[in-house]
């Protein structure tokens, strides 16, 4: 039986979302945001030279159709991204009303989000008193720190010392529908932090807040660093997704990265986690050993978490080039009847104002027994196409772009 690999390059948008004017970073609409296009332009003009140099170099992704997808989605021409595609390629646009991680992933898995998420106001304090009181009760603390919109690395650097002295958890949010809690793994305790977030999650989920995120860190004053023990307590999808379809058909499902967290464990048989370089090794192992008929679903988050939100153009370009070089041998090791789809869940243009995601179309690139242009599709078509390749029933609104090719 054929196998399928769905790989999300978190936030690698390609511009052109027709409803971008409805989404904002501060007071600025996302109209014109283009994560890949603007990174390529910066590289071509010598504006992204930290740790790398010259035009953006992505030969494996471009051969699959990345540059062609960029042109299709937004009309932008990325210097160095001009290959004639040999794979199946196109772009996709989202219908869910959020530009967040759960919305993008759920819709790629065949389930457009059927509601508006709840968000916290960009003011201080940001959280209602009853939520603050519940955090204090669950943490056994007399107060909380933060209570605002913030960058995770910035707020840890700013409040880490006070957290160590008081034992109060650092609570913050962003433009996403999230409630994040940072705490020191040693002085506060990792298990205590995870229990706090798990206990708080039902209250937040009842209010349509998509995720409660544990953000553990380590270190001493002046040198704090987040660890890889992040855990997302996400709302359970309200209907079956591609993972459930596959599992229900008796196929093994493997979640790489934060996929298990995004889907609240629903439809997942095996979980493989780590930093992006570790995740690439996991993906290579799955290509080598995953059983017949299986579905491997992977998320590579560091494009977004380390470079997009921090508006680090050079770092984003470096990570794209690392990913391209690393995915080459993985693609070469695939079996003839395997399908690997590489896509994204939203944009996060590092040249844009603010620090939030950007509303963009995303690339859809496929290596496998299919080829040609698929045009601009719906996110949900990705799930339908994976299901068609695996020979399992699709139970979502999408239409396959694999059948008949």
All structural domains of the chain with their residue ranges = 3-111+237-390, 129-234
Q: Above 90 in pLDDT, residue 343?
A: yes
The annotated binding site is made up of 10, 304, 309, 345-346, 357
Q: What is the pLDDT, as a whole number, of residue 45?
A: 97
* Digit-coded pLDDT (tens) for 289-321: 999 999 999 999 999 989 999 999 999 999 999
How many whole angstroms separate alpha carbon 257 and alpha carbon 278?
9
Q: How many CB atoms lie within 10 A of CB 231?
A: 19
Q: Could you check whether 3-111+237-390 and 129-234 share the same CATH topology?
A: no
Average predicted confidence (pLDDT) for the chain:
96
Give the mean model confidence (pLDDT) for residues 39-53. Answer: 98
Check whether 403 has a pLDDT greater than 80: no
Position 364 scores a pLDDT of: 98
Whether the CB-CB separation of 260 and 230 falls below 8 Å is answered with: no
Q: What is the pLDDT of residue 405?
A: 66
Mean pLDDT of the region 125-134: 98
- CATH code, 3-111+237-390: 3.40.720.10
CB 262 within 8 A of CB 299: yes
Over residues 55-80, the pLDDT tens digits come to 999 999 999 999 999 999 999 999 99
Q: Which residues contact 45 (CB under 8 A, 6 or more apart)?
A: none
How high is the pLDDT of residue 26?
A: 85
The percent of residues above 70 in pLDDT, for the chain, comes to 100
What is the structure's pLDDT at 175? 78
Task: State the DSSP string of 214-227.
Answer: EEEEEEETTEEEE-
Q: Is the bond preceding residue 195 a cis peptide, omega within 30 degrees?
A: no
pLDDT at 267 over 70: yes
* Res 114: pLDDT: 83
Assign domain 129-234 one CATH number from 3.40.50.1360, 3.40.50.970, 3.40.47.10, 3.30.70.1250.
3.30.70.1250
pLDDT at 39 over 90: yes
Backbone angles phi, psi at 184, to 5 degrees: -75, 130
Query: Given pLDDT bands bounded at 50, 70 and 90, which one contains residue 404?
Result: low
Average pLDDT over residues 161-172: 97
Least confident span in 54-63, 110-119, 140-149: 110-119
Angle (nearest 5°) at CA 71 between 67 and 75: 150
Average pLDDT over residues 179-194: 98
Question: CA triplet 115, 118, 120: central angle to 5 degrees?
Answer: 165
Neighbours of 291 (CB within 10 A): 11
Q: Of 87 and 12, which is predicted with more confidence? A: 12
For residue 122, is pLDDT > 70?
yes
CB contact at 8 A, 258 and 11: no
**Cβ contact 247:237 at 8 Å:** no
Higher pLDDT, 10 or 356: 10
Q: What is the pLDDT of residues 222-263, one digit of tens each?
A: 899 999 899 999 999 999 999 999 999 999 999 999 999 999
Task: Report long-range pairs for 137-143 (Cβ below 8 Å, ≥24 apart).
Answer: 138/195, 138/196, 138/199, 138/200, 139/168, 139/169, 139/192, 139/196, 141/166, 141/167, 141/168, 141/169, 142/166, 142/168, 143/168
- pLDDT range class, residue 184, cuts 50, 70, 90: very high
**Cross-strand bridge partners of residue 211:** 178, 234
Residue positions forming the annotated binding site for Mn(2+): 10, 304, 309, 345-346, 357
**Beta-ladder partners of 180:** 172, 213
């Amino acid at each position: 039986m054929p196998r399928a690999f769905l790989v999300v390059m978190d936030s690698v948008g390609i511009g052109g979302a027709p409803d971008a004017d409805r989404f904002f970073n501060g007071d600025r609409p996302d109209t014109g945001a283009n994560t890949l296009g603007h990174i390529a332009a910066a590289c071509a003009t010598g504006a992204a030279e930290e740790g790398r140099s010259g035009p953006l170099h992505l030969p494996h992704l471009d051969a699959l159709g990345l540059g062609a997808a960029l042109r299709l989605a937004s009309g932008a021409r990325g210097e160095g991204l001009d290959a004639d595609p040999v794979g199946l390629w196109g772009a996709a646009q989202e219908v869910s009303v959020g530009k967040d991680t759960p919305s993008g992933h759920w819709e790629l898995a065949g389930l457009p989000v059927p509601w508006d998420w709840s968000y916290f106001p960009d003011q201080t304090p940001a959280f209602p008193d009853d939520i603050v009181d519940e955090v204090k009760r669950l943490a056994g603390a007399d107060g909380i720190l933060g209570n605002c919109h913030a960058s995770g690395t910035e707020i840890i650097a700013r409040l880490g010392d006070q957290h160590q002295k008081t034992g109060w958890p650092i609570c913050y949010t962003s433009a996403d529908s999230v409630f994040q809690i940072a705490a020191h793994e040693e002085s506060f305790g990792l298990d205590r932090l995870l229990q706090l977030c798990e206990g708080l999650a039902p209250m937040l989920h009842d209010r349509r807040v998509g995720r409660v995120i544990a953000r553990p860190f380590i270190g001493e004053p002046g040198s704090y660093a987040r660890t890889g023990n992040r855990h997302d307590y996400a709302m359970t999808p309200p209907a079956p997704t591609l993972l459930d379809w596959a599992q229900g058909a008796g196929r093994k499902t493997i979640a790489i990265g934060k996929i298990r967290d995004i889907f609240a464990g629903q439809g997942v048989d095996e979980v493989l986690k780590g930093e992006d370089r570790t995740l690439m090794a996991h993906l290579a192992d799955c290509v080598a050993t995953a059983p017949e008929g299986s579905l491997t679903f992977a998320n590579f988050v560091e494009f977004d978490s380390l470079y997009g939100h921090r508006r680090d153009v050079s770092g984003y370009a470096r990570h794209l080039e690392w990913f391209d070089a690393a995915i080459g041998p993985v693609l070469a090791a695939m079996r003839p009847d395997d399908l690997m789809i590489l896509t994204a869940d939203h944009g996060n243009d590092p040249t844009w104002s603010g620090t939030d995601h950007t509303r963009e179309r995303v690339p859809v690139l496929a290596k496998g027994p299919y080829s040609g242009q698929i045009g601009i599709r719906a996110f949900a078509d990705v799930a339908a196409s994976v299901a068609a390749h695996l020979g399992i029933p699709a139970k979502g609104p999408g239409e396959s772009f694999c059948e008949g090719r």
